[in-house]
Amino acid sequence: MIRLREFTQAEAEIFVHPEGKRHPRFERYTGYEVPLLGCCAQEEKKEPVRLTMGEAVGSGLVANEYVAYYIALTHEILVTIGVDPARLRFRQHLTTERAHYAADCWDAEALSERFGWVELVGIADRTDYDLRAHSAVSGVALTAYIPLEAPRMERTRRIIPDMRALGPKFRGKAKEVADALVKADPGPVGAEIQVDGETILIPPSLYQVREEEVEVRGTEVMPHVIEPSYGIDRMCYAVLEHSYGEDIVEGEVRRVLRLPPAVAPVQAGVFPLVSRDGLDRVAMEIASDLTRAGIFAEFDESGAIGRRYRRQDEIGTPFAITVDYQTLDDRTVTIRERDSMAQVRVTRDTLPATLRDLIAGTLSFASLGT
């Protein structure tokens, strides 16, 4: 999953105003801390420094608020899905590896026991390189019109081609010559233009230059591009490696995948203590109730209860629900937490809401026992 012939990549191009590059919702992450390994720190063989995004932008380490916003957002995403924050850093591209057109570029890197530091996400300020390149080839002005708060008067110089003279001289190319001429910057001996790769000097006798005062209501701006690019396969690998663990329980190795409950493929395993006396029927009903409540639940009645716990631990199921004979008497079930292996009893009626809160992180498992 680290290096594949084919891979899944999620990428966005965010078009921003080139002046200031102030993100409208930057306050969301102004105080958010991220471990940053800048160019100077790399050259001096130093460790990453934890800085808030406000500090990083204010010190000039991160080029602007947009880059900082997506660094923080990416950090939050990676930690939320299960990447270990202690094994996560953001490394700035050195000037020798950064693209010539990029104003700034950072990689989210996760530490792997096998592969070392692995790039998961790249976040780049590509300036206006992309749109200028497309515009040059397509001939389309890929600009955005930005209205001014209040109109202003400006003096401008307008070039007026003499079509009666250009027509006979350039024939089929007359319109292309005229279009290029109005964009030219004439000098004392004429205006130099490019048409079909040919440089042509147009003498002053073939055009007029007029000085005018015009009302300006807006400006045309070539947007800059902020590009976060996510390697989905590598992110999944980092989550799997960082979540996997082994411990010894009753003399046996317990393999456990400590996935965050919100991203676990199975969020609740539902077990009857034994598959008779109606316990299996009640367990199936509970599994169906949880599924209807939007919880990924799996019914399992195969093998000893301890083996079922181990199977669910190994695939990352955060909670296991056991239906026993007491359930038939008082409608309570046992919830077992994967990470602590602690167990508490709750009523069947409150089970869906309790699990939803546990999965969302708004309720701690420890509080259920108080």
User: Does any domain span residue 148?
Assistant: no
Residue closest to 356 by CA, chosen among 284, 312, 300, 290: 290
User: CATH no. for residue 292?
Assistant: 3.40.50.800
Q: What's the average model confidence in pLDDT over 237-262? A: 94
Asked whether residue 139 is domain-assigned, the answer is no
Residue 184: inside a domain: yes
pLDDT tens, residue by residue, 305-342: 999 999 999 999 999 999 999 999 999 999 999 999 99
Domain boundary among 167, 201, 236: 236
pLDDT tens, residue by residue, 179-215:
999 889 888 899 999 888 889 999 999 999 988 888 8
Cβ pair 72, 228 in contact under 8 A: no
- Tell me, what CATH number does 196's domain have? 3.30.720
Identify which has the larger pLDDT, 92 or 6: 92
Residues 232 and 207 in one domain: no
Instruction: Name which of 39-48, 175-184, 345-354 the model is least confident about.
Output: 175-184
Question: Looking at the domain assignment, is residue 4 inside a domain?
Answer: no
Q: Above 80 in pLDDT, residue 43? A: yes
CATH code for the domain of 99: 3.30.930.10
Give 62-112 pLDDT, tens digit per residue.
Answer: 999 999 999 999 999 999 999 999 999 999 999 999 988 999 999 999 999
Q: Are the beta carbons of 298 and 328 closer than 8 angstroms?
A: no
Q: Is residue 137 part of a domain?
A: no
Are both 228 and 213 inside the same structural domain? no
pLDDT band at 370 (very low <50, low <70, confident <90, very high): low
Q: Are residues 228 and 81 both part of a single domain?
A: yes
- Same domain, residue pair 87 and 200: no
Q: 115 and 229: one domain?
A: yes
In a domain? residue 143: no
Percent of the chain, pLDDT > 70? Answer: 100
Q: Cβ(202)–Cβ(193) under 8 Å?
A: yes
Residues 228 and 96 in one domain: yes
In 10 A of CB 85, how many CB atoms?
Answer: 13
Q: Collect all residues with Cβ–Cβ distance below 8 Å to 51 and sequence separation of at least 6.
A: 33, 34, 36, 59, 61
> Both tokens of residue 354?
């309790």
Task: Give a yes or no: residue 243 inside a domain.
Answer: no
Q: Does one domain contain both 89 and 182?
A: no
Are both 288 and 334 inside the same structural domain? yes
User: Which residue range is the domain that position 202 belongs to?
Assistant: 154-217
Written as six digits, the tokens of 15 are 């078009």
pLDDT band at 44 (very low <50, low <70, confident <90, very high): very high
